[in-house]
Amino acid sequence: MEKNGIKVLIVEDNAMNMMLLRDILSIQGYEIIEALTGAEGIRLVAEQSPDIVLMDLHLPGMDGITATRILKADERFRGIPVLAITASASSTDIEEILCRGFDGCVTKPIDMEILLGEVRRFTAGASKDSH
């Protein structure tokens, strides 16, 4: 599919999950940037200005909650939506994640339609000509 001009940064240390997320999104035309750690994710947000970040919670070193807190504390990056990718499924867990500063949440195992719906919802303002 033609590139849609929307950059998605995936911060995920699990190779299978990374492959799945990359495949689902790249086939829809999204440009994918990959980070394996929270620190690398923060660096790539600064360097690449992604339109959205998908953030795994459990990462080596800094966890996804801390990395997101650092991003949201920086006014340059505050407006970039960050979706938590989490194995937690209960509504209480999801509420807790949202309260921790994420814009949204996608639970594992990843449902392709839910993932794409959330990414579209949070990148609706990002146009093809924005880069």
Which chain residues interact with Mn ion by CB under 5 A? 13-14, 56, 58
Smallest distance from Mn ion to CB 116, Å: 21
In the bound state with Mn ion, the residue whose beta carbon lies nearer, of 61 and 117, is: 61
Minimum CB separation of residue 11 from Mn ion in Å reads 9
Written as one string, the DSSP assignment of 15-75 is HHHHHHHHHHHHTTT-EEEEESSHHHHHHHHHHH--SEEEEES--SSS-HHHHHHHHHTST
- The span from the CA of 76 to the CA of 87, in Å, is 29
Tell the smallest beta-carbon distance from residue 12 to Mn ion (Å).
6
Q: Which is nearer to Mn ion, 56 or 118 (CB)?
A: 56
Task: Using CB positions, name the residue nearest to Mn ion.
Answer: 58
For Mn ion, the closer of residues 21 and 71 by Cβ is: 21
Give the whole-angstrom CA distance, residue 92 versus residue 40.
Answer: 29
Q: How far is the CB of 17 from Mn ion (least distance, A)?
A: 7
By beta-carbon proximity to Mn ion, the closer residue of 14 and 66 is 14
Collapsing DSSP to helix, strand or coil, 11 comes out as: strand
- How far apart are alpha carbons 69 and 113 in whole angstroms? 27
